[in-house]
Each structure stands twice: as structure tokens, then as C-alpha cells.
Amino acid sequence: MVFDPPSAEPLQVLVVEHRAPVAARLKGQLESLGHRVLGTARAGREAVAAAQRLDPNLVFVEAKLPGLDGIETTRAIVTERPVPVILIADYAGADLVRRAREAGAVAYLASMDRPRLLSAIAVALERFRELEVIGTEGSYPREAPETRRLVDRAKRMLITRLGLSEAEAFQRVLDRTHGTGRPLRETAWTIIDSEEALSGLDFTGCVELIFRVVHPTVRPTSGRARSSAGHPPTPERLDRSKEASRAI
């Protein structure tokens, strides 16, 4: 299985936002990007019905909807049919992000400006595809949340050490999965163990050990030489250095 990057094809979007000016601005931004807004909803239960009727492939949901709030609206929509949901929130604190994630949201949007909108859509499509892959791995659906947690942890480690994007890190995990024939869950554990082992290595000690193996007859630098190595060069030391260089 190969992880494809997010498609540039126009998306069929449902906007769930009770603030009319915000909904109108988001609709205009999406249409300027070439996407089609199938409809808008102003309340949670209306949004669930609209999602069932319109069958969008991307949904924006405001966090503070009246009645059924954005978290529960998201949960109801994705329970009926999995679809990438972007939560609209002025501020996405840790608790809100956790609850939204558990409900099925895959990204959030805090500003309607074009760069952040593009970024939110890209993240949502990438994350949703990851979830689809994770959902097809293994025989036990109950293991999917734990597999997702392990994969996210392995990705973060690869991103930190190698400077990869989220999509590139996930592709690394998939490539290793396919190369070893192991389940995705086991691959993630292997990466986590390897990265933790790397982070715990004493690189200075390893270099010294390698040096001693390669040059067993070379004595370690004396304490006097080490102590002088860190001091700035004095005129006397520079003169001796020049004489040594001329002799060489």
C-alpha cells in the first residue's frame, strides 16, 4: 500500500457555522480555491442531517454551536460516515484539541486567512488518509486508537530527528511496514524503541571507544595538554607553533 499525497481535486464541502458573516467569508474563501460548498448549516442537528443528505468529502464545524456543540456534532457526523472534519475554533486549547480528536476531527482552523485555510485543509486530508490506512491494518478495530497513538509518537520522533513533514514521516513508517511485512503497530513500536535508544547513546564515549579500537597504541591526551587546549593562544604559544610548523 502506498500513501498518496493529498489530492488537488476540488472538494465538496459542508460548512457548519452559526455566525452568518463567518460562514459567508469561509464559503467565499473555499470557492476562490476552486472548491464547491454544497451547503451551510447553523446548528448541530441540522448539520448532521445535511451531511447525510449532501455527502460532502470535507466538513467545517464551528466549536461553539448552539444546542448540540461542535464536538458532539463532529462525533455524530463521522459516526454516520467517516469524513475529514475541520473544527473552527478561535482558540484551540489542549483540552479542546483532545476532545475534538476523540470525536473524530482531524484538524482545526483558528483564522480564515488563505494560508491557514490551505494548511488546515492539507493537514485534514493527510490525517484522514492516515486514519484510513490505520483502520485497514489488523483484524481488531478496537486496536485502532492505540495503533494511531503509537504511529503519532513514532512520527513525532522522526520529524524531530530528520526534519520531515508529517506526510513524509508517515510514509517512512509505511515504507518500513511494507519492507518488513510487520503490522503497522509493531513497526511503530520498533521505531519508538530505536529512537529512544539513539537518544540515550553516549556519543562522546562511543567516539572515544572507536578511537581506541582504531588506534590502540595512541595514549589519551594528558591532563596538562587538555587543560591548555581550552585557553586562548598566548604569544609564547604562537611562537612555538610557528617553529613547529616550520620544522614540519
CA angle 100, 106, 112 (to 5 degrees): 90
Classify residue 196 by burial, with Cβ atoms within 10 Å: 0-12, 13-18, 19+. Answer: exposed
* Global pTM exceeds 0.75: no
Look-up of cell digits 457526523: 77
Question: pLDDT per position in the chain (248 positions), as tens?
Answer: 333 444 468 999 999 999 999 999 999 999 999 999 999 999 999 999 999 999 999 999 999 998 899 999 999 999 999 999 999 998 778 888 889 988 999 999 998 889 999 999 999 998 898 888 877 665 445 666 777 788 888 888 888 888 888 778 888 888 888 888 888 788 888 888 887 777 765 556 556 656 665 565 665 554 444 444 444 455 454 454 444 333 33
Q: Where are the domains of the chain?
A: 6-136
Look-up of cell digits 500513501: 3
119: cell is 494548511
Sheet holding 85-88: strands in order across?
36-41, 12-16, 58-62, 85-88, 107-109
Q: Does domain 6-136 have CATH number 3.30.870.10?
A: no
